[in-house]
Amino acid sequence: MSIGTERVYVARLAGTTVFDPLGDPVGRVRDVVLVVRRTGVPTAVGLVVEVPGRRRVFMPLTRVTSIVPGQVICTGVVNLRRFQARPSETLAIGELFDRSVTLRTDKSTAYIEDIAIEQTRGKLWQVTKLYVRSGERRRGVLGFSRRGASTVVDVDAVTGLATRDKLQGAALVIQSFADYKPADLAAALMEMSPARTAEIAAALDDERLADVLEEMPEHDQIFLMRTLDPERAADVLEAMERDDAADLLGDLPEQDAAALLELMEPDDANQVRQLLGYEDDSAGGLMTTEPVIVGPETTVATCLALVRRDALPPALASMVFVVRPPLETPTGRYVGLVHIQRLLREAPHDSVGNFVDPAISTLAPADTLSDVSRRMAAYDILALPVVDEDNRLLGAISIDDVLDHLLPRDWREHDAGDPRAPERPAQGGKRG
């Protein structure tokens, strides 16, 4: 085996591919699970491994037979239940990176940037070294200043490892999640302690935090919103999709929701108030007020450019909605929708109004979730328009809005399959 005396640094281990004994990939390491006590040496008990489907699961270090640069080899079985840290467990990257400790030599403060683990003769993994940086945190940024030296110290050369900071930095954690999609970052945050989740949320920019909130269950959304000061909370709501912001505000006490609406920009607040006026499971309550809206004379080339926006959900990027001016909801008279697949076959200078699909009928704000889902299935389409009695476009409903309401309210908290999903045997390993 390649483990025993090797020193493994957690930051380098993150992202490493995990293989079974036959060489087939199982997943990628995302974090290391530690048990940190106020006395004694911290121990590593397992890995958080991201398996196909972006599910993060726990792999005991007793199942790891080899750790070498670029790969981890496991044996036995892989439990496919979604990982959730126990109260006694701490995530190395998620919760210890950026934590302050005190150096015993001169009583100065340093901040953890990496952690080394080694296996003892008794096959127990222990934290042996810390890579720390001295210096003060930047004002206004939960990171480090460039002043101060970096050094590797023994774990017993510091104090305070098991003590939470009053305000712990989050720069290194956010950097480690840079390539995560919002849903994956949301899942990772829900694995951490509430206090650490709040610290990382505070350090995210408004757009990123808005995207993450949209992927969280209601009670987690409300918890994080209440950790923000009201002005920041209003800014984040403005960055959210209007229907998601309305759903979140609808779950808050009426007085709190009204206060946040007053702090939002008037145009944003008015759109959210409009959505709050509809029943949650109606077409009006399900729709977003910001689909891609164009006039009939807009060119094909312009439409294709509009749907390339990174922030546009894939379902809404599959079509454009054609209306008479004004082009903001509620718009002028609704003309129809045009599929992007159709526009890919047309000349760039042609007008989009020439390619409206006449077969797609509209929804009314009062239509039920059942009406919406049946219509979407009948048309085999990813989004549908919602218009008022004067045929003005109010918004559009996408397939993800429908699925969010058809699935159980707590679906984000469970595995994609059976919540009692069995352990999957790694090839060549034994069950048990």
The answer to whether the predicted template modeling score (pTM) of the entire model surpasses 0.95 is no
326 upstream amide cis, omega within 30 of 0: yes
pLDDT at 26 over 50: yes
Q: How high does pLDDT run on average in the chain?
A: 87
In the structure encoding, which two tokens stand for residue 398, read together?
């996408």
- Residue 422 pLDDT level (bands cut at 50, 70, 90): very low
**What was the pLDDT predicted at 385?**
98
Distance CA 42, CA 115 (A): 11
User: Which of 2-6, 75-79, 124-128, 254-258 is the least confident region?
Assistant: 2-6
Q: What's residue 420's pLDDT?
A: 34
Return the HEC string of the chain: CCCCCCEEEHHHHCCCEEECCCCCEEEEEEEEEEECCCCCCCEEEEEEEEECCCEEEEEEHHHEEEEECCEEEECCEEECCECCCCCCCEEHHHHHCCCEEEECCCCCEEEEEEEEEEECCCCCEEEEEEEEEECCCCCCCCCCCCCCCEEEEEHHHEECCCCCCCCCCCHHHHHHCCCCCHHHHHHHHHHCCHHHHHHHHHHCCHHHHHHHHCCCCHHHHHHHHHHCCHHHHHHHHHHCCHHHHHHHHHHCCHHHHHHHHHHCCHHHHHHHHHHHCCCCCEHHHHCECCCCEECCCCEHHHHHHHCCCCCCCCCHHHEEEEECCCCCCCCCEEEEEEEHHHHCCCCCCCEHHHHCCCCCCCECCCCEHHHHHHHHHHHCCCEEEEECCCCEEEEEEEHHHHHHHHCCCCHHHCCCCCCCCCEEECCCCCCC
What is residue 149's predicted lDDT score, i.e. its pLDDT?
A: 84
- pLDDT in the model for residue 351: 97
What pLDDT does residue 69 have?
A: 84
Q: Work out the widest C-alpha separation in the chain, in whole angstroms.
A: 78
pLDDT exceeds cutoff 50 at 429: no
What is the spatial distance between Cα 153 and Cα 109, in angstroms, rounded to a whole number?
13
Q: How confident is the model at residue 409 (pLDDT cuts 50, 70, 90)?
A: low
The answer, yes or no, to whether residue 4 has pLDDT greater than 60, is no
- pLDDT at position 417 is 39
- d(CA 224, CA 155) in angstroms, rounded, equals 33
- CB burial of 406-415 (b: ≥16 within 10 Å; e: otherwise) equals eeeeeebbee
Rounded average pLDDT over 224-231: 95
Structural domains of the chain ordered from first start:
1-179 (no CATH), 205-277 (no CATH), 293-406 (3.10.580.10)
In angstroms, the Cα distances linking 383 to 90, 96, 291, 388, 402 are: 42, 43, 9, 17, 10
Question: pLDDT per residue over 345-377, tens digit each?
Answer: 999 999 999 999 999 999 999 999 999 999 999
When pLDDT is averaged across residues 243-269 and rounded to a whole number, the result is: 94
Q: Residue 188 above 90 pLDDT?
A: no
Could you give the angle at the alpha carbon of 255 between the alpha carbons of 250 and 257, nearest 5°? 35
The answer to whether 144 and 171 are in contact (CB under 8 A) is yes
- Would you place residue 427 in the very low, low, confident or very high pLDDT band (cuts 50, 70, 90)? very low
**Tokens (6 digits) for 144:** 């480090």
Distance, CA of 48 to CA of 340 (rounded, Å): 40
Can you say whether the dihedral through the CA atoms of 279, 282, 283, 286 is positive or negative? Answer: positive
Examine the pLDDT at 7 and tell me if it is beyond 80.
yes
The pLDDT score that the predictor gives to residue 148 is 67
- How sure is the predictor about 430, in pLDDT bands with cuts at 50, 70 and 90? very low
Unique residue bearing structure tokens 């200043």: 145
Over residues 233-244, the mean pLDDT reads: 94
Phi and psi at residue 23, in whole multiples of 5°?
95, 5
d(CA 341, CA 321): 14
The answer to whether residue 235 scores a pLDDT higher than 70 is yes
CA distances from 371 to 176, 348, 382, 402 (A): 43, 36, 15, 11
